[in-house]
Amino acid sequence: MSEWDEMALTELGTVERGKSRHRPRNDPSLYGNEVPFFQTGDVKAATLHMRNPSQWYSAKGVAQSRIWESGIACITIAANIAETAILGCRGCFPDSVLGFTPTYQKADAYFVKYLIDVYRGELTSAARGTAQDNLSLEKLLSYRFRVPGAPARARIVGTLRAFDDLIENNRRRVEVLEEMARAIYREWFVHFRYPGHENATLVESACGPIPEGWQVGRVDSHLVLQRGFDLPASERRPGPIPVVGASGRQGFHSTAKTQGPGLTTGRSGTVGTVTYVPGDFWPLNTSLWVKEFRLSTPRSAYFLLSSLDLAQAASGAAVPTLNRNVVHALPAVCPPRALIEEWDGAALPIFNSMELLRLQSERLVEIRNLLLPKLVSGEIDVSSIDRVAVVEDSAA
């Protein structure tokens, strides 16, 4: 093979559709705890490796599907078009996801993932034109991509994976830190094992037994929610201020609408995602943001809101919508303010460490995204790159 050739994906491996034959697909008997079942949203949510499924198949679900082994590249062709991830464990997926199994070297699964990432805009445009955007298998296999030889492919993958592995590691560390803070919150305010609890007496309340001296109120005893503000993409200007919508951070802007630290939760469309923002930010109108912290601090309010079944509280069949007044009226236990502040003092260093890791990951993502098209197109000669030095300098 010459240095760079025009190739179809089938010249690097095998491309096959996932399988989900049973109808209706939402039959409850298909789901259980046998094998992970990944869907297009799981592919899109993955940083590099896809390991956390939104659902699991039962034995019946597995029987009408297919189990794929870890290490293949997954490519979405419906709903979320041309999103990619590497399957990080054995699992099943529907026919809206393609599986690429490399013929030659293992690195080719990662190379194809990065290749599709570069061509995502073009492939998404090719999928338009029907009632529901769809990138057919035939259309994808008809594409000819510029592909380098195996040694260059391996070097490209090694360079980009160095970034992605560090980003994934940072995100896992954030998850561990958050679970640590959550565990302390539950220990103090759910199981009532806070410092000095040995001398406390439990008394009956509308929320069950609670320590004497605590109260039962409503969520608005802790905080006040407010609808976010419009900010069309066309009006956003480059800047350091996070723009936060229903599902979390959605870019940046030059101007803040409110001071941090603060919280948002999804109001429309995506409901139930709670986002903590340590600094000033712009909450979008698809979110509710905390206008006033009454009893709770921003960090304790994060776990309070996260513990509520906000999706269940949402109304609207077509587009679920969360009414702030409904959330305000939900019952909530009200500990003494001094105890919340004591917990907050223990939690603050954990939240600060989480934010440092997030900022480092954002910087790494930005640099990786700049390198990605240049490496995959051959604009940068990977043979001259010390990938370890590049990543270490980027993370510093």
The pLDDT of residue 2 is 47
Residue 1's pLDDT is 39
Residues 311/305, Cβ–Cβ less than 8 Å:
no
CB atoms within 10 A of CB 72: 23
Quick one: pLDDT at residue 393? 53
Nearest to 154 by CA among 109, 189, 218, 192: 109
Per-residue b/e over 241-264, b at no fewer than 16 CB within 10 Å?
Answer: bbbbbbbbebebbeebbbeebbbb
Q: What is the pLDDT of residue 370?
A: 95
pLDDT tens for the chain, 396 residues long, are: 347 899 999 999 999 999 999 999 889 999 999 999 999 999 998 989 999 998 999 999 999 999 999 999 999 998 789 999 999 999 999 999 999 999 988 889 999 999 999 999 888 887 776 555 678 888 899 999 999 999 999 999 999 999 999 999 999 999 999 999 999 999 999 999 999 999 899 999 998 999 999 999 999 999 999 999 999 989 999 999 999 999 899 889 999 999 999 999 999 878 888 999 999 999 999 999 999 999 999 999 999 999 998 887 776 555 678 999 999 999 999 999 999 999 999 999 999 999 999 999 999 999 999 999 999 998 988 776 655 555 555 555
The string of DSSP letters for 360-378 reads HHHHHHHHHHHHHHHHHHT
pTM: 0.84
Tally Cβ neighbours within 10 Å of residue 304: 22
